[in-house]
Chain A
């Protein structure tokens, strides 16, 4: 009985861990290739990337928790319009907040804040995870995926601004060795491809290492079982 409880606890911990690491192992940008439109269009500077990432993260966290709690009350056939209404409301509030308190940022990323409502990360996470899980799990998933999206955008924004303008968050760090094309759309594709390549190569190496470790463990277990059997015989 005690063993069963311990096993259940371990399984829950394992599940929480895998959800919490979702933003890394299933990174929305580098692995799932979701939300490509703002990723490519507005990561030409660190400032744009940071605020767009934070706005998306805020909407993602609130909407996933909210809809996880409300899902049992919404009839299946009208769930999509209901989701859209709630997401659009949240996006509008975020839009108003940014417009009011950060007008200069809003001038740059305003139209993409409204487009968060149709970002596939939001609807995707709600449909595949939030509505099927409890709010605390949805919160963890939303935070993890949101953070994954934010980190990807910030990485892209920082590198593109640094290489394209020799600056970081608007502050010029060096001149003369810049590649202006990096702040253009083309540069977005190039940088995304490079980062995606690096991310996937590292991820594949880790996966390979884990698989090898698991294989060795299985061999070891089989050897032990064989030895026990021999002793018994």
Chain B
């Protein structure tokens, strides 16, 4: 009876243990975390501590097979003293479940010049003290690649340099240095000329479509792309730490908030939307950090005039490049300032006359922007009127002018007007007439 009970207990515990082990193996397979390898401030500081100031780059190692399978990345010093030094980043299990040592091994010409522990992972994901204490690995320095000391037994004698008690860590570090030396024998020359990796998100488009100077707010749409979805996976973009810092010319930070768009698995790019507050027209600098290791990007944000935004939206143009200013007249009090734009939309070319005027009277005032689309033959093909103060776009309908020759006698009094849109109507009338004059001048003077 007792025997049966013991067998039952052992059997049930064994069954549970097997099921648990299977679950853990599968979970590890799908949820294993890869160490971050991209260059960031922390890593650059570490590399500068090892090799002095200069510039460093992560190499594209897609075509390489490394002697140590735990080699996660290879960096190269591209400028400064000890230029072309190759630095291996090897991240290995110490033998204790969940404990890792990430070691940087720098090899210059044919010998180890620096070794440093970069990252450790102890139980519970916390940095482990022993590898840090063991970081004094100067005993490895000067070990030559081709002299036969690059093997594990010989390097093992250097273990005395390592803090006592860090046995597993010491042997892991020795194995890693050995792996780097052995690999350098084979790949060293190629690594010195290997291409630099470009896995970091690249901003391929900055679109300031929604900039609105009226209320000092704006939106930047950025498309971030990657060549290596493993390092920067757009489908995981929502969980990534993304920071954007926008500063004006004086270095003052602009208030911004980020919206991260979703991306499908396998996508190579993702849209990042940044809303800005309290901005004025001018030159700005944007600094983007994705994750805690991927590099930062700086670029100027061009501010777009409201008329460009309106024309782009109205005509459904894909960018601002299609809009080119060809003539303008500053105007004066009561006389609209007018600009003529040449639009290149695919194969077709036409013009848009734009004018703005402030009108006022006993009932109040209004600032009115008027746009007139003019085709190649000089015929009006549409009109848009914006009352800046009330945004009542539809209260003046310019369709009655369609197909009218802009160079001929315009009768703009007949514009259809919504009730109470007196000033909007008045502003549009003045502006269309002025656009007709400035457009005719442009056509005559330029011989167009």
Residue contact B33 to A93, C-beta cutoff 8 Å: no
What number of residue pairs across chains A and B have CB atoms under 8 A from each other?
A: 66
CA distance A95 to B124 in the complex (A): 8
Closest to B8 in A: A75
> Chain B residues with Cβ under 8 A from A77's Cβ?
5, 9
- Is B23 an interface residue, CB under 8 A from the partner? yes
Residue contact B13 to A78, C-beta cutoff 8 Å: yes
> Chain A residues with Cβ under 8 A from B239's Cβ?
101-102
Contact with A along B1-44 (1 / 0, CB 8 A): 00001001100110011001001100110011100000000000
Residue contact A75 to B9, C-beta cutoff 8 Å: yes
Residue contact B24 to A73, C-beta cutoff 8 Å: no
Residue contact A100 to B31, C-beta cutoff 8 Å: yes
> Chain A residues with Cβ under 8 A from B20's Cβ?
85-86, 88-89
CA distance A57 to B126 in the complex (A): 23
8 Å CB contact of B13 from A82, A92, A103, A113: A82
> Chain B residues with Cβ under 8 A from A74's Cβ?
12, 16
Minimum CB–CB distance from B238 to chain A (whole Å) comes to 10
Residue contact A93 to B24, C-beta cutoff 8 Å: yes
Q: A78-B9, A86-B16, A92-B24 are in contact. Are A107 and B31 (CB under 8 A)?
A: no
- Is B241 an interface residue, CB under 8 A from the partner? yes
> Chain B residues with Cβ under 8 A from A8's Cβ?
none
Minimum CB–CB distance from A140 to chain B (whole Å) comes to 25
Sorting the interface of chain A by its residue count into under 10, 10 to 19, 20 to 34 or 35 or more gives: 20 to 34
Closest to B241 in A: A104
Closest to A89 in B: B20
For the residues of B in contact with A, the DSSP-based class is: helix
Minimum CB–CB distance from A180 to chain B (whole Å) comes to 24
Minimum CB–CB distance from A111 to chain B (whole Å) comes to 3
Which of B27, B123, B126, B292 counts the most chain A CB atoms within 10 A? Answer: B27
Q: A99-B125, A107-B125, A110-B125 are in contact. Are A81 and B13 (CB under 8 A)?
A: yes
> Chain A residues with Cβ under 8 A from B23's Cβ?
89, 93
> Chain A residues with Cβ under 8 A from B241's Cβ?
104
Contact with A along B298-317 (1 / 0, CB 8 A): 00000000000000000000
Closest to B34 in A: A100
Q: A73-B12, A81-B13, A102-B239 are in contact. Are A111 and B27 (CB under 8 A)?
A: no
CA distance A96 to B28 in the complex (A): 7
> Chain A residues with Cβ under 8 A from B28's Cβ?
96
> Chain B residues with Cβ under 8 A from A82's Cβ?
12-13, 16
- Is A202 an interface residue, CB under 8 A from the partner? no
> Chain B residues with Cβ under 8 A from A114's Cβ?
123-124
> Chain A residues with Cβ under 8 A from B124's Cβ?
95, 110-115
Minimum CB–CB distance from A137 to chain B (whole Å) comes to 23
Contact with B along A92-134 (1 / 0, CB 8 A): 1101110111111011001111110000000000000000000
CA distance A99 to B27 in the complex (A): 12
Minimum CB–CB distance from A100 to chain B (whole Å) comes to 5
Residues of B whose CB lies within 8 Å of any CB of A are 5, 8-9, 12-13, 16-17, 20, 23-24, 27-28, 31-33, 123-126, 236, 239, 241, 292
